[in-house]
Amino acid sequence: MQGREDSTTTRVLLLQRRAGRRDTVVDAVPAGLLATDGPRIRRPSNIVARRYRLVRQLGTGSSGSVFEGFDGVTRTRCAIKVLHDRLSQSREHVERFLREAWIVASIGHAGVVPILDAGRDAEGRCYIVFELLAGEDLDAAMQRGAVGQSDAIDIARLVLDVLDFFF
């Protein structure tokens, strides 16, 4: 994998644009990206990688939280998944988190949200930046009874189309 280190952050180059198609470059994990001996004391910060501002939390899970974010460079909204601090010190969890980014970036299917950036910032925080999609999530739509039989069939077809892409 190609890596680039600058004074603000260590980043992983995940995507290349070739002939209008996203391709993933993954050979090895750059030295230092998985290191767990980095900063252990963090200032509470709503800035990730000195570039992305965390605006509001959209959800949380066992390994991380997802935020609506703002990219200070491109001045666009985005979604940012951040690995929980307690897991950032575990090489295994960091590797799994970054592997998720590489796998999702390699899919290149219209039914999968594109990854814009991923890495570990100077504070030791692991992150994945996605395109931010508008609308409500499936769970919320189901809770309010807005998913009928035809909607469920359409959703199943979309999921099967993505799965068919792999097999």
Residue in 154, 139, 126 with CA at minimum distance from that of residue 58: 139
Angle among Cα 107, 141, 54 to the nearest 5 degrees reads 60
Q: Tens digit of pLDDT for each residue in 29-72?
A: 444 555 544 444 344 589 999 999 999 999 999 999 999 999 99
The average confidence (pLDDT) of the chain is: 78
Q: Tens digit of pLDDT for each residue in 114-153?
A: 999 999 999 999 999 999 999 888 888 888 888 899 998 9
CATH topology assigned to domain 3-134: Phosphorylase Kinase; domain 1 (3.30.200)
What stretch(es) of the chain map to CATH 3.30.200.20?
3-134
List, edge to edge, every strand of the sheet that includes 52-60.
3-5, 9-12, 115-121, 126-130, 76-83, 64-71, 52-60, 47-48
Coil/strand/helix, residue 29: coil
Q: What is the pTM of this model?
A: 0.71
CA distance 53 to 60: 17
The pLDDT of residue 12 = 32
- Tell me: pLDDT of 20 over 60: no
